[in-house]
Structure 1
Amino acid sequence: MNSVLKIILQRLALGLLTLFIVSIVIFTAVNMLPGDFAEAILGQGATPEAVASIRRDLGLDQHPIVRYFDWLSGALRGDLGNSFAQANFASFVGDDSGVRVSVAQQIAPRFANTMFLAGVTAAIAVPFAVMLGILAALYRNSVFDKVANISTLTSISSPEFFLAYVLILFLAVLNPVLPSLSNIYEGMGFGERLQKTMLPALTLTLVVTAHMMRMTRAAIINLLASPYIEMARLKGIKPMRVIIKHALPNALAPIINVVALNLAYLITGVVVVEVVFVYPGIGQLFVDSVKIRDIPVVQACCLIFAAAYILLNLTADILSILSNPRLRHPK
């Protein structure tokens, strides 16, 4: 158990180091964008005094290294700064009547919406993909297996926006079963929210199911030639029971990895789907903030995406370690 704990601590330390490096890349990339942020906020008719005042108020006149560590220390405390776009600009030029909106206040409801979308998608995609992979392994080289592989390969090869528009055509236009736009708002009932989220959730399900199904199928087929599987078959155990009780538990490590990676995609890769369905999530907020150059929000969204991806990768590593009996019970 000490060796397992040591490996887990090493993974956590590596994850923190990766997140630190990614934060440097995010800050550097955003600050390398052409143009002056203060002039972009105030417009072309801004006076030099107003530009200098807002640059001083925002700390843009400081050295980039100082600004980076101020941003990083604030992020560690949960303070991601103030949104440029949502503020009353009078507050930036010395007028106390101005109102500033923190980035955390702006991101929190959007992030909750994205997590709801990811949760609905995961609840549909994970059991569906695993069961589809089990059936494809059980009936490998059959018509069902070939159709499943062709379908998943087509799904992997199709971009998200294409699948989204196909679903809109068939489920919202030709057969108006689900709404084409996801108008989510605060206080909406669970049933109505679920209905409006279903179409983007089905789009993401088509994208992530393919990877999980193919990995489940490959991992199980790889174990079917093992001696203990042959022994179970010789005892007369039903093929489905052999796969579920004997093969699947030993194939969990690669399956957990691919499931965690696809769950990370559900949080970090929803930008295109949220834009297509106008879903009020963090991906839509990120695109809108890039358009209006709301730099604190862009940096915060990128940091959240990176942290979620790294965290879920760490979770996959740790669960893979814990699912390995040779690591849990060393000789």
Structure 2
Amino acid sequence: MLHPIVKLLVQRIALGLLLLFAASALIFAGTQLLPGDVAQSILGQSATPEALANLRAELGLNDPPVQRYFNWLFSALHGDLGTALSNGEDIAQSLGKRLGNTLFLAACAAAVSVPLALILGIVSVRYRNRWPDRLISAVSLASISIPEFLIAYVLIFYVAVQLRWFPSVAMISDAMTLGQKLSAIALPVAVLTLVVLAHMMRMTRAAILNVMQSAYIETAELKGLAPIRIIARHALPNAIAPIVNVIMLNLAYLVVGVVVIEVVFVYPGMGQYLVDHVAKRDVPVVQACGLIFAAVYIGLNTVADVVSILANPRLRHPK
């Protein structure tokens, strides 16, 4: 007989793997339904019928779709993501460096946004319905309402062009020092922080306020404990499960949703790589990027579920 917590963990992990399998099928099917002929787009309009037939046979386009899907999935599970049609490069090698750059950008944005969201959420609860709470809520609602690309262009114009504090193009290389890299990605990190900060801050505020209605919080108040101490030591630990969930969702967005930001700032990450090869109709690259994005998103959501189970006694002992 499995312990309830082990059973829940196994169910969550199995569900994550099932979702990833379903996502891979949708990604493959979506690329196959794209209009046009892959062989024709590679060889051009002047290609002869014989050349087109030979290339289709070489790419396996004559095989049944189900067979091609399982061949692709089996290869991907073994680390073989195929070869880019546009330049003949190994996709796994090309994606390795790009994925590292995207994770570096996401990690820097998370390092700023997560602590700031917790601090602002606590401050908002501490000064509930007073001017700090109203100011934080107004700024967070504004940042949610404005499209991220517009925020990016506004920062480029004022911070990069007018003030010249940071570069407008976020190009990084291995030859750069850590300080130079951080300076180069300052603006995209600022945009990503503004985008995800509001969601995390508002969930932190709502979760803590929900716990603040509990009887043990009233007891702590009657004992004369300082409000900030009650929030930080008694309310926040018991509100951590929903906060972790929304943090993981936003971390997943930082990795998966950076496509627009990478294109705006010409950042050499996976998003820019994906957009470049979508324009070239490079189907294997699109499939590989989609699979990695899906794996990261589903993986972080699974981690959020696991952490919620471990942090919540009601989930650890459902009966």
Amino acid at match of 1:48: P
The 5 Å alignment of 1:202-213 reads 202-213=190-201
Work out whether 1:182 is the aligned partner of 2:183: no
Residue 115 of structure 1 is matched in structure 2 by: 103
What's the CA shift for 1:106? 1.1
C-alpha separation between the residues in 2 aligned to 1:20 and 1:329?
Answer: 30
Amino acid at match of 2:223: K
Aligned length: 318
C-alpha separation between the residues in 2 aligned to 1:234 and 1:174?
Answer: 54
The 5 Å alignment of 1:1-331 reads 2-87=3-88, 101-328=89-316
> TM-score w.r.t. structure 1 length?
0.94
C-alpha separation between the residues in 1 aligned to 2:112 and 2:231?
Answer: 22
* RMSD of aligned residue pairs (Cα, Å): 1.2
What's the CA shift for 1:174? 1.5
Moved more, 308-317 or 41-50: 41-50
Among the aligned pairs, what percent are the same residue? 56
Amino acid at match of 2:271: G
Amino acid at match of 2:21: F
The one-character-per-residue Cα deviations of 1:231-278 (angstroms, maximum 9, x if unpaired) are: 111111111000000000000011000000000000110000000000
Amino acid at match of 1:76: L
C-alpha separation between the residues in 2 aligned to 1:126 and 1:83?
Answer: 36
Moved more, 180-189 or 227-236: 180-189
Amino acid at match of 1:186: D
The one-character-per-residue Cα deviations of 1:134-184 (angstroms, maximum 9, x if unpaired) are: 000110100111111111001111111011011112210111111000111
Moved more, 7-16 or 319-328: 319-328
Unaligned runs of 5+ in 1: 88-100
Unaligned runs of 5+ in 2: none
C-alpha separation between the residues in 2 aligned to 1:123 and 1:50?
Answer: 52
What's the CA shift for 1:327? 4.0
What's the CA shift for 1:219? 0.7
* 1:191 match: secondary structure: helix
C-alpha separation between the residues in 2 aligned to 1:262 and 1:327?
Answer: 22
Judge conservation of contact 2:5–2:317 (CA < 8 Å) in 1.
no
- Which structure is higher in RCO with an 8 Å CA cutoff and minimum separation 6? 2
C-alpha separation between the residues in 1 aligned to 2:86 and 2:275?
Answer: 13
Judge conservation of contact 2:4–2:317 (CA < 8 Å) in 1.
no
